[in-house]
Amino acid sequence: MSKEKSFLVVGGDSLVGGGLLRALRRRGHFAYASTRRLETVDDQRVYLDFESDEPFQAPTDVDYAFIIAAATNYDRCEKDPLAYKINVELIPRLIESLLGQGLFVTFISTNSVFGGERPWPHEDDPHAPGIAYALQKDKAEDAVRTIAREGGAEQRLNIVRLTKILDSHTSPLPAWFDSWKRGEAVHPFSDLIFAPMSVQFVGEALATIGEKRIPGNLHLSGAENVSYVDFASALASKMGVGPNLIEPTTATAKGIHIAFKPSYSGLGMERTTQLSGVKPQPLSAVIDDLL
Ligand SMILES: NC(=O)c1ccc[n+]([C@@H]2O[C@H](COP(=O)([O-])OP(=O)(O)OC[C@H]3O[C@@H](n4cnc5c(N)ncnc54)[C@H](OP(=O)(O)O)[C@@H]3O)[C@@H](O)[C@H]2O)c1
């Protein structure tokens, strides 16, 4: 592991942070993870809590930070003023400090800033956020862009927006696997669309972006917009599970309120592919990674 130019992953215990740490370390980089659990701090884990008033100083060998952690729960973003403060004030404040320390910074954002009514939005397209989580990410993007511009650090900042990320523990997959094991049908929603990626793909793609230090707006996306019924069918077929164990329904029929129900979830990756070589992840590759 090379410790000359280390990476810092803020939010090392998050789904995305875990995938990124594995990819960076597999490629031979030294990567610190941040945690807000003091008892788990060691020589690769540094303490960082957005809510702490203590200014954060990155380890001296770090020259690139990924800001992965955030208040991510949609419901919490609607209701908890602290979620707004974390996402819109405290994260940009940390990014200002890290840019001031001379680091290259990646800020992780979301496809939901585009609102979900336009297919394959380009990296530099205008936003149309609807839900509180998306509004907060949109405001944070504006704040960090302004901070970088005013500090002359635009060439050391990128914003990477992601579509839905899956690993085998992401809901509803564990319940589907259990049902199929028992020979019971699952009930996926046909009115919920996503463009899933695997956590392995996102980890490797972010590591590539970190190695290439590409400034500006970037996207990582699944290559297909699919419903949960399409997704369950592709997964079942790969697992040798019969189509009779998929009984499609809708969130509407089940009376389940879904905060973000886009018509289109996938992100255009034209600029990202041109500059990084990373292409959207095909659905079959997502499923191979999950299994
Ligand atoms: N998952 C997706 O499908 C998806 C899709 C699009 C974009 N994103 C974005 O990708 C990023 C990662 O998402 P994720 O799903 O991997 O996140 P996650 O698993 O929900 O984890 C969130 C992380 O944020 C940390 N955190 C929360 N409040 C904090 C605070 N006050 N100080 C320090 N750390 C704090 C948590 O720390 P603890 O471990 O201590 O709780 C946790 O590690 C987020 O920015 C999210 O908006 C995710």
Assign 259 to helix, strand or coil: coil
CA of 266 from ligand 1 middle (Å) equals 20
* Whole-number Å distance between alpha carbons of 66 and 206: 9
CA 85 to chain centre: 20
Distance from C-alpha of 291 to C-alpha of 285, rounded to nearest angstrom: 10
CB 73 within 8 A of CB 124: no
CB of 110 closer than 6 A to ligand 1?
yes
Looking at the predicted structure, is the pLDDT value of residue 273 above 70?
yes
Q: What is the mean pLDDT of residues 162-188?
A: 97
Instruction: Kindly state the average pLDDT of the residues 249-260.
Output: 91
Q: Helix, strand, coil: what percent of the chain each, to 5?
A: 45, 20, 35
Compute the average pLDDT of residues 63-87.
97
Confidence of residue 231 (pLDDT cuts 50, 70, 90): very high
Does residue 91 lie within any of the structural domains?
yes
Residue at 60 is within a domain? yes
Closest C-alpha to ligand 1, atom 4 = 164
Q: Is 108 in the pocket of ligand 1 (CB under 6 A)?
A: yes
Q: Quick one: which of 125, 109, 7, 153 has its CA closest to 66?
A: 7
In this prediction, residue 190 carries a pLDDT of 96
Domain total of the chain: 1
| Structural domain range at position 80 | 2-165+197-221+266-281
Q: H helices of the chain, where?
A: 15-26, 74-79, 81-84, 91-100, 132-150, 173-181, 199-212, 228-239, 251-254, 270-276, 283-290
Q: Please name the residue that has the structure tokens 């699919």.
A: 226
136 pLDDT above the threshold of 70: yes
pLDDT of res. 210: 98
Is it the case that residue 4 has pLDDT exceeding 90? no
Q: Does residue 46 line the site of ligand 1, with CB under 6 A?
A: no
Q: What pLDDT, in 10s, does the model give residues 108-117?
A: 999 999 999 9
Whether 77 contacts 113, CB under 8 Å: no
Q: How far is the CA of 181 from the centre of ligand 1 (A)?
A: 31
Q: State if residue 85 touches ligand 1 by the CB under 6 angstroms criterion.
A: no
Please check the confidence at residue 1 and state whether its pLDDT lies above 60. Answer: no
For ligand 1, whether the C-beta of 265 sits within 6 Å is no
Question: Residue 97 C-alpha to ligand 1 middle, in angstroms?
Answer: 20
Do the domain assignments include residue 185?
Answer: no
The whole model's pTM is what?
0.97
What percent of the chain clears pLDDT 70, i.e. is strictly above it?
Answer: 99
Report the CATH number at residue 25. 3.40.50.720
**pLDDT band at 247; cut points 50, 70, 90:** very high
Note whether residue 107 is domain-resident.
Answer: yes
Question: Residue 3: what pLDDT?
Answer: 63
- Asked whether residue 140 is domain-assigned, the answer is yes
Residues 6+ apart with CB under 8 A from 89: none
Q: What angle do CA 37, 40, 46 make, to 5 degrees?
A: 80
- 191 pLDDT exceeds 70? yes
Instruction: Give the CA-trace dihedral at 124, 77, 210, 262, to 10 degrees.
Output: -50
Specify whether the CB–CB gap between 32 and 48 falls below 8 A. Answer: no
Q: Residue 86: CB within 6 Å of ligand 1? A: yes
Q: Is 288 contained in some domain?
A: no
Instruction: Tell me how far the alpha carbon of residue 66 lies from the centroid of ligand 1, in angstroms.
Output: 12
Nearest to 191 by CA among 101, 245, 262: 262
Q: What is the mean pLDDT of the chain?
A: 96
**Is residue 205 in some structural domain?**
yes
Which of 155, 174, 29 shows the shortest CA–CA distance to 104? 155
Whether the CB of 72 sits within 6 Å of ligand 1: yes
Ligand 1 atom closest to the Cα of residue 165 is: 3
> Atom 19 (ligand 1): residue with closest C-alpha?
14
Query: Between β-strands 193-194 and 226-227, what pairing exists: parallel, antiparallel or unpaired?
Result: antiparallel
- pLDDT given at position 2: 54
Instruction: Please check the confidence at residue 211 and state whether its pLDDT lies above 60.
Output: yes
Q: Is the CB of 88 under 6 A from ligand 1?
A: no
Q: Quick one: which atom of ligand 1 is closest to the CA of 35?
A: 40
Question: Does the residue 82 lie in any domain?
Answer: yes
